[in-house]
Amino acid sequence: MRRTMPPNFPIPLHAPNRYSPPMTTPDPLTLNSWQVIAALDELPPGLVERTILLDTPLAMTRDRDGLPVVWRRTDEETGDEIDPETIFDRLPVTTGYGFVWTSLGTPPTDLFPIPEYAEPDRVNMSCGSIGIHVSAPRAVENFLDMGHFPYVHTDILGAEPHTEVKEYDVEVSEERDEVLATRCRFFQPRAALSATDGMEVEYVYRVPHPYCSVLYKSSPEAPERRDVIAIFLQPVSEERCRAHLLQSMIDSTSTITELRRFQQTIFGQDKPILENQYPKRLPLDPRSETPIRADKSAIAYRRWLSQKGVNYGVIPVAS
């Protein structure tokens, strides 16, 4: 396990002589899956952008048709001009939900489905990315978790004293190979109204990919339809990720800037908590942490990862 200086260590220490632990080779599923690396509209045509995926440095750009090109980076720097035609050793690439996805192995033809994205009257937007010093699965688990709303997203997604997580249902859908949590309800205060005057918001969560999750939230405007918020995590290393956010909203009154700022506030609140979580990789052994009924979705998620043999960003169950 890599150890780094805790951010709030009380006594200032100078650059220590760092020890680097051995690296994990990602399991086949992780290698052969599509992994998100950037928002499409933030990738400049003809210029190099750099990133890291599964400890592997990558470079990317867009060609004349606007299609992304991704390859293993050698000495390219951000902002270098490049002719995409000169790049031969390309990694597989696809675009989906406004993002660029690649793979270090042999990916499937399709990305997991989010059918709502195609509905004509929705506003789809990518809401930026945020780097978090924690594993991607820990970030997924945080996304599935309602219990922290009153403490971490105070007065936005929840507020003390309304802390109860009511019973909800979880299943692992065999046919779609995803974790599904339904009938999730949480008391949400409305900003302008008094604390006693809130409403119960209903959520549905899907985990269709080990590092991605999609949330459906009852929309105040059209109760029979739902706002969609998805989080795609880029596993940078075992203990670092970048969270890329997508919103697909029915809301016609808020501006894109407002909606973006809202999501960034939410993730900005999660970041310091997640970065204080130990171990940074998600422990899959049921006895490593203490789950409660409210954590049913997390329990199912951990089990699902275990069954799939995911080993990257997790601490597998000792055999």
Select from 57-65, 74-82, 239-247, 271-279 the region that touches another protein (CB under 8 A).
Answer: 271-279
Q: Does 201 bind another protein (CB under 8 A)?
A: no
User: Can you read off the two tokens belonging to residue 161?
Assistant: 């004293």
| Residue 239 lies near Fe ion (rule: CB under 5 A) | no
If binding is defined by CB under 8 A, does position 154 make contact with another protein?
no
Pair 263, 249: CB distance under 8 Å: no
Q: Residue 88 binds which one of another protein, Fe ion, none, with CB within 5 to 8 A depending on kind?
A: none
Specify the DSSP class assigned to residue 34.
Answer: -
Rule CB under 8 A: say whether 273 interacts with another protein: yes
Whole-angstrom distance, CA of residue 161 vs CA of residue 147: 12
Q: Which of 137, 150, 313, 316 binds another protein (CB under 8 A)?
A: 150
How far apart, in whole angstroms, are the C-alpha atoms of residue 34 and residue 49?
19
Sheet of strand 198-209, all strands in order from the earlier edge strand to the far edge: 123-132, 240-249, 226-237, 212-218, 198-209, 178-189, 169-173
Number of Cα atoms under 13 Å in the Cβ half of residue 81: 0
Min CB(304)–Fe ion separation in Å: 21
162 is an interface residue for another protein by CB under 8 A: yes
Residue 178 binding Fe ion, by CB under 5 A: no
Would you say 206 and 198 are in contact if contact means Cβ atoms under 8 Å apart? no
Tokens read off for 41: 């509209």
6 or 66: CB nearest another protein: 6
Residue 72 or 293 having the CB closest to another protein? 293
Length of the chain equals 319
Distance CA 273, CA 55 (A): 24
CB of 197 to another protein, least distance (A): 8
Rounded CA-CA distance 67/90 in Å is 13
Using CB distances below 5 to 8 A depending on partner kind, what does residue 222 bind out of Fe ion, another protein, none?
Answer: none
Q: For Fe ion, which is the closer residue by CB, 227 or 270?
A: 270
Residues 37/102, Cβ–Cβ less than 8 Å: yes
Residue 319 touches which of another protein, Fe ion, none (Cβ within 5-8 Å per kind)? none
Told to check if 141 binds Fe ion by CB under 5 A, we report: no
293 binds another protein (CB under 8 A): yes
- Residue 276 binding another protein, by CB under 8 A: yes
User: What is the nearest approach in angstroms of Fe ion to the Cβ of residue 22?
Assistant: 32
**3-class DSSP assignment, residue 182:** strand
Query: Site for Fe ion (CB under 5 A): how many residues?
Result: 1
Task: Say if residue 50 is exposed, middle or buried (CB neighbours under 10 Å; 0-12, 13-18, 19+).
Answer: middle
Taking CB under 5 A as the criterion, the residue among 270, 296, 310, 316 binding Fe ion is 270
Query: What residue ranges bind another protein (CB under 8 A)?
Result: 1, 3, 6, 8-19, 141, 145-148, 150-152, 160-165, 195-196, 272-273, 276-279, 283, 285-294
Q: Which residues bind Fe ion (CB under 5 A)?
A: 270
